[in-house]
Amino acid sequence: MLRAAVALADESGIDSLSMRRLAEELDVVPMALYKHVANKEQLLDGMVDVVIGEIDPPVRGAAWKTAVRHRILAARRALLRHPWASRVLESRTDATPLVLAYMDSMIGLFRAGGFSVELTHHVMHAMGSRLLGFTQELFDDSRSLDPEVRDMLIREMGKQFPHIVEIVKVVYHEADSVVGPGCDDQAEFEFALDLLLDGLEALLQREIQSPAPSPVRGPIHG
């Protein structure tokens, strides 16, 4: 039944996943689903667990930075297989045991790398959903625009939003001649991930050199 729900969401989108529609898919009366699941929230929790269960285990014997990086990219691969997963994950109010176990293992990687408990706590907040391989993008510029539409947009918006247009121009011009789509999401994700990991590495060095400073202040303004 969880598999059917995941398959339905994969194929028809998460908006199509209603209890009634899922029941129909399983050739079952709607109320029959409530034998397996208390309510829809619990169904979504179960679906999240399916995705989390697909994340490759951490590589062993690697330095913390490599281990963290690989695990996060593994999580991202799992999430990308199920386009609805990040949205559903965001909507969860309580973590399932499986999600907690994933978090626990990620924390373990940092602790093993020498991060203090306090610093690791801040790190978990700073990484946020990136620990699971996704980020909140505010505007989706990854879809490749029809060149005609794009040129029209550039002409229309040039006066109002010159800086946006400047970026669109350059990024899409590159895209035309090099890769297909307008913007490489994976590269952008890794760019931000490495930026953060490098920052964390610097923090770790500082912590090792002068242990237990003010635990709540940031890297510079502390």
Partner DNA sequence: ACCTGAACACCGTTCAAGT
Residue 71 near a second copy by CB under 8 A = no
Residue 97 CB, nearest approach to DNA (Å) = 21
Q: What is the rounded CA–CA span in Å between residue 147 and residue 57?
A: 42
Residue 12 near DNA by CB under 7 A = no
Residue 29 near DNA by CB under 7 A = yes
Give the interface segment with DNA, choosing from 16-24, 49-57, 88-96, 190-198 (CB under 7 A): 16-24
- The smaller minimum CB distance to DNA, of residues 32 and 170, is found at 32
Alpha helices in the chain (DSSP H): 2-12, 19-25, 40-53, 64-81, 85-91, 97-112, 117-127, 147-157, 162-177, 185-209
Amino acid at site 13: G
Alpha carbon 192 to its chain centroid, in Å, reads 12
- Which residues from 88-147 bind DNA, rule CB under 7 A? none
Tokens of 206: 């500082």
Give the interface segment with a second copy, choosing from 3-11, 14-22, 179-187, 204-212 (CB under 8 A): 179-187
Interface residues toward DNA, by CB under 7 A: 17-21, 29-32, 34-35, 39-41
